Amino acid sequence: QADRGAPRRSGAMRRRQLARRGRADAGAMLGRRRSAACAVRVGALGVFHFATQASCVNGNTVQVHSAPVDAPAFAPDAPYTRVEAYQGHDFFTKWNFWTKPDPTKGYVDYVDEAVARQRGLIQSSPDNVVMAADATHQTGDGGRPSIRIESKTQYNRGLFIADIAHIPTGCGTWPAFWMYGEDSQHIWPRWGEYDIIEGTHQDSVSSTTLHTTDKCNQKGVDSGGDFDSTWNLGAQPGASADNCFVDAQDQWHNQGCSQKAPQDSMGAGFNLQGGGVYAAEWDPVAKHIRTWYWPAGSEPADVKAKRPEPHRWGTPFSFFSLRNKVCAPQHFKNMRLVFDLTFCGDLGNAVWNLRCPGLKMTCDEFVAKHPQNMTEAYWSVRSLDVYDRTGSASPATVPPATVPPPPSTSTVLPTASPSSRVGTTTALRQSPWASQPASAQAPVQKPTQAPQQAPQQAPQQL
């Protein structure tokens, strides 16, 4: 990224330079692959690619249908083609339900699919999908029953467009829509994390954040130039949270590099206007991660037509560079999509008195004793589409056959993540993170919960 004092290049010139740089990097990638000690046969399955026989990558043996290997190169200006549609009655068949303890210490009991259906916490229709927390019963030490799901597919790039009718809101809530990579051999944050939507309590402004290992510093990224929003604040007075490293010395532990979304990008205002559309682009060839947001009904025509052209959308509200000298693309790999809703936790508790003043009880006590205040604690998603530049029409729905869910360890599991839903301790921020009705959209389907709570079942890992 150019220094802040450098003259601005024209948009067309910058796109041409990115295209040339992308093609050069793509050639280097292919050159490295061809010079490896043994050949790899790769089967393309949409946006992810698997070894189709026992072979090796750079001299290391891999098993049949192992974790994704490097995807083939593509031109940065190639058109996007939809390769996956998360929508309708089969929505939940493409996700695993997380039932382990919350790594961010939230007051939550993540339930499996069977329990969620029995209690009315999940619902699906052709028009939308609902994921809710229990809003009927007082709860005890185990936490409030809620949902966390992770996509069975892992991604190594893509454009992810989410049309969301309702985001959980209210005192105690901590919702997020995000991505992360991890397996038993690559512990978080080795493969990175990309938080697309995140906030706590009654926030009306979402945050978009990256969490990485060392050497991912976005200091040169220009607020007002590269993106049209502002940085969240770090631990030092007046300093921006622009270092993605989870142990950056000038930021809260696990804070990551974090930028603000527009006003009413979540919260009561978002829900009253009929929701909105987020577009999250992870492009390791063009070397950036960009995020846009539009209130419902104001998204571009190409988005509505499901033929997205990001170069026409203008400046994103969030931009992170993946240039090698800033934050090499290798910081992000094999990432799953995640929707979750936890309560309180490391971050929610840290800002409890600031966001919900006047309540003479702890966050946990409020969430446990006041289910009537949880009626807005639910996700309603109209659609989530995944696009890839390869032009492949193959649906990206086949999961890695041998990749298990993340191991159950208290130090690395992913869960909620504004500062990292995967780490041991989330960032304790001292300062807050900082339209048009969707008349043509399908109405929001609110969760209808079972009148009686079923006996607690033992968690199952699907």
182 is catalytic: no
Contact 264, 204 (CB under 8 A): yes
The encoded tokens of residue 351 equal: 């800002």
376 is catalytic: no
| Active-site entry in 193, 281, 299, 376 | 193
Tokens 């990558």 sit on residue: 57
Contact 158, 413 (CB under 8 A): no
**What is the CB neighbour count within 10 angstroms for residue 300?**
17
H or E element at residue 304: helix 301-304
Tokens 């949880």 sit on residue: 374
Q: From CA 381, how far away is CA 204, in angstroms rounded?
A: 18
DSSP assigned state of 36: S
Q: From CA 227, how far away is CA 241, in angstroms rounded?
A: 15
Burial class of residue 223 in the structure, from the number of CB atoms within 10 Å of its CB (0-12 exposed, 13-18 middle, 19+ buried) = middle
Name which of 114, 150, 119, 151 is nearest 132 in CA terms: 119
DSSP assigned state of 263: E
Contact 288, 226 (CB under 8 A): no
H or E element at residue 30: helix 11-34
Burial class of residue 452 in the structure, from the number of CB atoms within 10 Å of its CB (0-12 exposed, 13-18 middle, 19+ buried) = exposed
Burial class of residue 182 in the structure, from the number of CB atoms within 10 Å of its CB (0-12 exposed, 13-18 middle, 19+ buried) = buried
Type of residue at 264: D
Type of residue at 306: K
DSSP assigned state of 199: -
DSSP assigned state of 310: G
Contact 320, 217 (CB under 8 A): no
Contact 282, 289 (CB under 8 A): yes
Q: From CA 187, how far away is CA 182, in angstroms rounded?
A: 6
Helix (H, G, I), strand (E, B) or coil at 301: helix
- Strands 276-283 and 81-86, bridge-based pairing: unpaired
| Active-site entry in 84, 113, 150, 198 | 198
Catalytic machinery residues: 193, 198
